[in-house]
Amino acid sequence: KAGVTQTPRYLIKTRGQQVTLSCSPISGHRSVSWYQQTPGQGLQFLFEYFSETQRNKGNFPGRFSGRQFSNSRSEMNVSTLELGDSALYLCASSLSGKWDEQFFGPGTRLTVL
Amino acid sequence: AQSVTQLGSHVSVSEGALVLLRCNYSSSVPPYLFWYVQYPNQGLQLLLKYTSAATLVKGINGFEAEFKKSETSFHLTKPSAHMSDAAEYFCAAGTASKLTFGTGTRLQVTL
């Protein structure tokens, strides 16, 4: 069974640009969660999607948004990039969310210059 | 809001020695608790999880953790460290779909 895949693995953008990251969950998984990992703030929850609906949301500004498609693939968008958005963005999938094991992808390393 | 505290950002042990990584949670209701491991340039891998079924939880790679409600702790242990255990370890609380993570403990294993 293929694991969680994230594309691209590395991305370099400049301030003010926008970026879209993609996550393909494990086949059959309907819940996709996104996390931001930085040296200063650690791992922080961004949001979770289940059956194309945002089910949980962390404390991030509206510049961070996401969506989920009918095949459970998810995208995360960050608009008007800031230097502080440089981070490793991790996606995790699980069968239905709440009490199931989350499987993490390798992450997308975003660098904002 | 839940918070998770990991004492010690870096822990160094000798190969074969006991590994003890500390985690305390802050919650009036014991949450679900997890330990994850992250190897360089990789995502997180679940080591074990506490879901109230048993206070001593056994995980993969010889790790285990004991839930102590009176101490609000969920420390991770392994009797004998191996070089391959060198990685960063994260304690987390919450539901599987929304986790609050500790700041992580980097484990170094020396010969």
To the nearest whole Å, the CA of B110 is away from the closest chain A CA by 24
Chain A touched by B28 (CB under 8 Å) = no
CA distances from A25 to B7, B31, B40, B98 (A): 33, 25, 21, 16
Chain A touched by B104 (CB under 8 Å) = yes
Per DSSP (E only), the strands in B3-86 are: 3-5, 10-14, 19-21, 24-26, 33-38, 44-50, 56-58, 64-68, 73-78
| H helical segments located in B1-111 | none
**Distance separating alpha carbons of residues A93 and A73, to the nearest angstrom:** 10
Query: How confident is residue B55, by pLDDT bands cut at 50, 70 and 90?
Result: confident
**Distance separating alpha carbons of residues B49 and A3, to the nearest angstrom:** 20
**Distance separating alpha carbons of residues A26 and A60, to the nearest angstrom:** 26
Write phi, then psi, for A86 (nearest 5 degrees).
Answer: -60, 125
Mean pLDDT for A17-28 is 97
The reported pLDDT for the residue numbered A1 is 67
Query: How confident is residue B26, by pLDDT bands cut at 50, 70 and 90?
Result: confident
The reported pLDDT for the residue numbered A5 is 97
Q: What is the pLDDT of residues A39-91, one digit of tens each?
A: 888 999 999 999 999 998 999 999 999 999 999 999 999 999 999 999 999 99
Of A28-37, A74-83, A93-102, B30-39, the poorest mean pLDDT is in A93-102
Chain B touched by A102 (CB under 8 Å) = yes
Q: Do A97 and B90 touch (CB under 8 A)?
A: no
Mean pLDDT for A29-47 is 93
Instruction: Provide, as residue numbers in chain B, all residues whose Cβ is less than 8 Å from the Cβ of A103.
Output: 46
Chain A touched by B101 (CB under 8 Å) = yes
**Distance separating alpha carbons of residues B86 and B1, to the nearest angstrom:** 31
B contact residues 72-91, partner A, Cβ 8 Å cutoff: 90
The reported pLDDT for the residue numbered A52 is 95
**Residue A49 β-bridge partners:** A32, A54
Instruction: Say yes or no to pLDDT of B60 above 70.
Output: yes
The reported pLDDT for the residue numbered B32 is 86
The reported pLDDT for the residue numbered B41 is 80
The reported pLDDT for the residue numbered A11 is 96
